[in-house]
């Protein structure tokens, strides 16, 4: 399947989001609901996005003790979502508990383990006591996640080639840290263009500000989808 675009709909209000969703309905496959919109509007917003026909990626990056994360997965399973994130840094027991809860409550939900945030570089990793470079840490966390039962991960496109060779076939590799040529990098550190991310093997790319801040956001989203299509 060609790499799919996920729009990170990080905007201040529903009034900003709704016109763009109307414009992209029927062409954009996925919308990511992240902390900004979920903390403002909660489950109602998730339901509204799903009602417009989009697959919803709920990016809450759960990270807590195993019981708390497992119970949260159970609660969130009631929502119309296709993907949900948790932090692999929560460890093996936490990931296994989350996976067990997900399989019991919503078997088709794709639970994704966030490895190393795409905003982090070697300096940032050193500051939190991680002496390894990003690629080594991503590999360590993704393999721990895989051994804990997870079948999908969030990483930067720079690590996709390495992971797709060593993780089980079919593992979903979802990559933020994507910037079209000439786009503002912002706070992202480990980046690639949409076409390069697709050729590297990303199953999905996540793009927010390069679309949302474009003069014509719908046109920017269509241009990225065309770039993915051309990359095969
Ligand atoms: O490692 C990660 C995990 C999640 N994200 C999220 O993706 C989008 C990226 O938005 P841009 O505006 O395209 O930078 C955002 O919602 C993050 O929370 C990530 O960037 N990196």
Mean pLDDT confidence for 66-70 = 98
Question: Nearest Cα to 112, choosing from 55, 35, 60, 169?
Answer: 60
Q: What pLDDT shows up at residue 232?
A: 83
Atom index in ligand 1 nearest the CA of residue 32 equals 16
Whose structure tokens read 């919503």? 106
Share of the chain above pLDDT 90, in %: 98
Residues 132 and 126: their CA atoms lie apart, in Å, by 8
Q: If DSSP codes are grouped into helix, strand and coil, which group holds residue 87?
A: strand
pLDDT computed for residue 132 by the predictor? 82
pLDDT tier at 154 (50, 70, 90 boundaries)? very high
What percent of the chain is predicted at pLDDT more than 70?
100
Q: Whose CA is nearest to atom 5 of ligand 1?
A: 176
Atom of ligand 1 at shortest range from CA of 35: 18
Q: Where are the domains of the chain?
A: 4-231
- Atom 11 of ligand 1, residue of closest alpha carbon: 208
Query: How many angstroms does the Cα of residue 177 sit away from the middle of ligand 1?
Result: 7
169 pLDDT band, cuts 50/70/90, is very high
Instruction: Give me the DSSP letters along 204-221.
Output: EEEE-HHHHTSSSHHHHH
pLDDT band at 60 (very low <50, low <70, confident <90, very high): very high
143 is in an annotated binding site: no
Lowest-confidence segment of 1-5, 54-58, 92-96, 172-176 by average pLDDT: 1-5
Residue 203 has pLDDT above 90, yes or no: yes
- Catalytic residue, chosen from 15, 51, 61, 121, is 61
pLDDT score recorded for residue 131: 86
Tell me the average pLDDT across 169-185.
98
CATH number of 4-231: 3.20.20.70
Q: Which atom from ligand 1 is nearest to the alpha carbon of 186?
A: 14
Binding residue per annotation — 10?
yes
The complex scores an ipTM of 0.99
Which pLDDT band, with edges at 50, 70 and 90, does 113 fall under? very high
pLDDT, residue 224, reads 98
For the question of residue 216 being annotated catalytic, the response is no
Q: Which residues line ligand 1 (CB under 6 A)?
A: 8, 10, 34, 114, 117-118, 154, 176-177, 186, 188, 206-209
| Mean pLDDT to the nearest integer, 67-76 | 98
The Cβ of residue 171 has, within 10 Å, a number of other Cβ atoms equal to: 17
Mean pLDDT of the chain: 98
Rounded Cα gap, residues 106 and 81, in angstroms: 10
Catalytic member of 64, 71, 121, 196:
64
The pLDDT confidence band at residue 1, using thresholds 50, 70 and 90, is confident
In the predicted model, is pLDDT for residue 55 greater than 90? yes
CB 113 within 8 A of CB 95: yes
Mean pLDDT of 17-33: 98
pLDDT at 97: 99
């Amino acid at each position: 399947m060609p790499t799919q675009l996920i729009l990170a709909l990080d905007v201040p209000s529903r009034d900003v989001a709704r016109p763009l969703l109307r414009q992209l309905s029927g062409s954009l496959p996925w919308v990511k609901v992240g902390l900004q919109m979920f903390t403002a509007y909660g489950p109602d917003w998730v339901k509204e996005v799903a009602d417009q026909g989009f697959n919803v990626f709920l990016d809450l990056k759960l990270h807590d003790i195993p019981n708390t994360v497992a119970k949260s997965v159970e609660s969130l399973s009631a929502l119309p979502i296709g993907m949900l994130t948790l932090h692999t840094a929560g460890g093996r027991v936490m990931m296994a508990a989350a996976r067990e809860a997900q399989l019991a409550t919503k078997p088709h939900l794709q639970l994704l383990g966030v490895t190393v945030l795409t905003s982090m570089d070697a300096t940032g990793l050193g500051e939190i006591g991680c002496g390894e470079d990003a690629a080594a840490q991503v590999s360590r966390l993704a393999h721990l996640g895989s051994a804990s039962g997870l079948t999908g991960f969030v990483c930067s496109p720079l690590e996709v080639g390495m992971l797709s060779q060593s993780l089980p076939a079919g593992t979903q590799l979802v990559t933020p840290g994507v910037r079209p040529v000439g786009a503002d990098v912002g706070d992202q550190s480990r980046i690639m263009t949409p076409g390069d991310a697709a050729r590297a093997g990303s199953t999905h790319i996540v793009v927010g500000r390069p679309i949302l801040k474009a003069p014509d956001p719908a046109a920017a989203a269509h241009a990225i989808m065309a770039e993915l299509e051309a990359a095969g």
